[in-house]
Amino acid sequence: MCSYCGCESISIVGRFMREHVEIINASGALRHAAATGDSEQVHDCVVTLRGLLGPHAAAEEAGLFAVLAEDAEFTDHVRALCGEHRSLHDLLDQVDGGSHGLVPDLERMLRLHIDREENGLFPAAAIAFAGPEWERVVALTPAEEPGVVEPWPGPRRCEAASD
């Protein structure tokens, strides 16, 4: 987690960073379940991780990513992060389908993705955005609903960024 620039004090960024902690914790539980070889436990952990990652990715893409992608300087980076969201969901599907040996790859990809956001995109947005941009991000971002598990709607916002 980034702690050097203060971007976590921006409410929406702080929310995303808190969600990252929950997602990393859930990935650790998945790693432990995969180590036991218990497919039912792995499935339960995948469901939990999906339930955290899906709404999180959808919220990032709907708000922060959508507004950042309007700036040509950020479009390619946002597109790459959206692609990583898709890849993470694909890996989760494979793990749930029995490819438990992919859990270390999933966890590594997840940690690298979070690092790119927390030590790259979030601080860049904190510098690039003024009040009106943050107001738009907040208005476009779905409200945080703890305990609500929704499926990830897919890369709709990301595809719009690539047009």
Give residue-wise pLDDT tens across range 67-111: 999 999 999 999 999 999 999 999 999 999 999 999 999 999 999
Token pair recorded at residue 50: 């999906």
The full DSSP string for 5-43 is S-GGGSHHHHHHHHHHHHHHHHHHHHHHHHHHT-HHHHH
Burial of 101 from C-beta contacts in 10 A (0-12 / 13-18 / 19+): exposed
Residue 12 structure tokens: 């929406």
Residue 4 has pLDDT above 60, yes or no: no
- Per-residue pLDDT of 109-141, as tens digits, reads 999 999 999 999 999 998 889 889 999 999 999
**Superfamily of segment(s) 10-143+151-161:** nmb1532 protein domain like (1.20.120.520)
Please tell me the pTM assigned to this model.
0.84
Domain range list for the chain: 10-143+151-161
- CA–CA gap between residue 65 and residue 159 (Å, rounded): 11
Distance CA 79, CA 11 (A): 23
